[in-house]
Amino acid sequence: MRTPLLILVLLATCWLPLQAQTVQTDSSSRPDHLIYTVVQQQPEFSGGMSKLGQYISENLRYPKAAQAAGLSGRVFIRFLITKQGAIENVKVLKGVSPEIDAEAIRMVASMPNWLPGKVDGQAVDCFYNLPINFSVR
């Protein structure tokens, strides 16, 4: 009679981790409007990461004053991707200078819609962090 109990324990041990997938909501979420920070399927720029890199290289304008001053670095941007894929609430998490930070915000805010993140197969609002490099060549 111990074998069925052992099988039941083994099944429960395998099943519980599958049910507790890592999905987290942001502290600014409200019960009527959840905003996720971790999702099961990440949001994606239409065309993938290579298209995102191409979009950035074609649309990012290095501020002349910052370039003349030799300022460079990585700006970390956080933005909301809505369940419709729209970009909202673009903010700097870590900046380089006011001019460079403003350009990173402008470029991200002007992006076309993304493919939204998903939880349990449903599109959800979620935050996305994006590093943007500025380097003087």
Model confidence over 33-42: pLDDT tens digits? 789 999 999 9
Give the global pTM: 0.78
Amino acid identity, position 57: S
**pLDDT computed for residue 59 by the predictor:** 96
- Under DSSP, is residue 131 helix (H, G, I), strand (E, B) or coil? strand
User: How far is residue 73 from each of residues 52, 79, 93, 97, 137, measured CA to CA in Å?
Assistant: 19, 19, 13, 9, 12
- Domains located in the chain, CATH noted: 22-134 (3.30.1150)
For the cut 80, the answer to whether the pLDDT of residue 9 exceeds it is: no
* Position 129 confidence tier, pLDDT thresholds 50, 70, 90: very high
Average of per-residue pLDDT across 22-26: 60
Task: Average the pLDDT over 4-19 and give the result.
Answer: 37
Burial pattern 23-35, b for ≥16 Cβ within 10 A else e, equals eebeeeeeeeeeb
